[in-house]
Every structure is written in structure tokens, then in C-alpha cells.
Amino acid sequence: MRGSIRLVAWLLAIALVVTPIVGVLSGWFAADRWPVTQLTVQAEFKHVSAEQIRAAVQPRLGKGFFALNLDGVQKAVAALPWVESVEASKRWPDTLLLRVYERQPFARWNGNQLISREGKVFSVPDAADYNQLPDLRGPDDHLAEVVSFFADVQKAFTGTHLKITGVALTERGSWSVSTDTGAQIVIGDRNQAGGRLRRFLDVYPQVAAGHPQSFEYADLRYTNGFAVKWPQVTAAPTAPTAGGTPRT
């Protein structure tokens, strides 16, 4: 009997000790005390502003220090378009600490989205304005393939005067490449892209030697060669002789 009474006493003592700890950790007690009044943010602030972060966090600061949900804060800030990731912590007695990592844009995707250096597609209102970035296009489920092909093409054109500014993959699996001069290179079948590019680049220096300007269009879809369209060169007008009249 005494043993049972002693066991009950121990259980009550443990409950009295554990309950306040669990309560504090869960925010049950002092939810409206020790309010969080300070926000410290470490961020690059290149695309994300302090005002945007403050607006995302503010609705979640109504509770006390212990009741503040860090996971909710992180999700709210991570929802901002330019935010890649967020680390949140608390410092007693009234401070919320945030470390915000911004997305680093690598290329445009289908004209109205951006691709981060981590390979994530994200939307921002002014995506079309980032026209200095490579222009990559293709089906959404082939993003990795398009990015990989762009890297391969850039490497293949190293050493030429041509600068690759974008690649596109159609729904039917046809590749095309664009350059900084506005020229388009149609490669065609994705399964033959490597061979067709090598064939083009092997002879392109000799072909281009006789043309002062860059080509406008190249079609590599031929079995044993390719077709190139060059800009028309306008002949310079002949200077009239003294006393003469220009011919019509």
C-alpha cells in the first residue's frame, strides 16, 4: 500500500515538473508576455527589400517570445518570389533573427519566368526585363535537358566569334540556337544534334572567311551538309564626277 502511495506521489511530482516545460515549449504559457519587438535580418537586399520581409513577418509577431512559431515565419518569408531559403531563430528576450538567401537568376525560361542557379524555376513580375540573361525555352518537364544542352552548345562554340544567347526545344523534340547577332541556327532532331553541330563547326570558319558579316540563318537539318543565309550587301553608291549628274 505504501509502495502504491509512493509511486503516485512520484508521478505527481514528475507531472508538475514536466508540464510547465512542455507548456513553455509549446507556447501555452506566457503567450502574450515578452513580446517580440526586434527584427534583425541578414540579407543581400538585391531583389528582396526589408519592407517585403517586414510585411511577411509582421502578422506572426502578435504572440510572445515562446509562442512565436519559427516554422511559420520561415514559410511566410520563403513565399516571397526572390527568396531561395530562410533561417530563423530567436534571441532572448525580444528578438527574431532572420538570415535570408536570395535566388541568383541564371537564365530566362519561356519568356516569363526565371531559372535560379540551383535549377529552380520561379516567377517575378518583371522577368521579361532580364533580357541580358540567356533565353531558354522548352517544355517544363524538359528543363534539365534544356539547361544541359545550353551548356554543351556554349562549350562547343568556344573559340568562335559566335556567342550563344539561347536555345529552344519544341514539343516535337527539335532544337534551335540563337546568337548575340540575332542569327538562328536550326539543328532539328535532338538525337542528331551533336553530330550536326560538329559538322557545322568543322567547316564554318572556312565558310565565314569570305563574308564580312555574320550569317542570319543556318539550317543544319540536311543529310550531308547545311544551308546558310547571309545578309545582302548593299553596294556603295558611286561618287559623281565633277560637273556631272548622278544616274537614276
The model's pLDDT over 17-60, given as tens digits with 9 standing for 90+, comes to: 443 444 444 444 455 678 888 999 999 999 999 999 999 999 98
Q: How sure is the predictor about 122, in pLDDT bands with cuts at 50, 70 and 90? A: very high
Residue 161: the pLDDT is: 85
Burial of 187 by CB count in 10 Å (0-12 exposed, 13-18 middle, 19+ buried)?
buried
Average pLDDT over residues 180-186: 95
Please state, in angstroms and rounded to a whole number, the distance separating the CA atoms of residues 70 and 76. 10
Predicted confidence band at 234 (pLDDT cuts at 50, 70, 90)? Answer: low
Element (H or E) spanning 77, and its range?
helix 70-78
Using alpha carbons, list the distances in angstroms from residue 167 to 151, 173, 183, 238.
10, 12, 12, 43
Beta carbons within 10 angstroms of residue 166's beta carbon: 20
Residue 118 has what pLDDT?
A: 92
Question: What proportion of the chain, given as a percentage, has pLDDT over 90?
Answer: 64
- What pTM value is reported for the model? 0.76
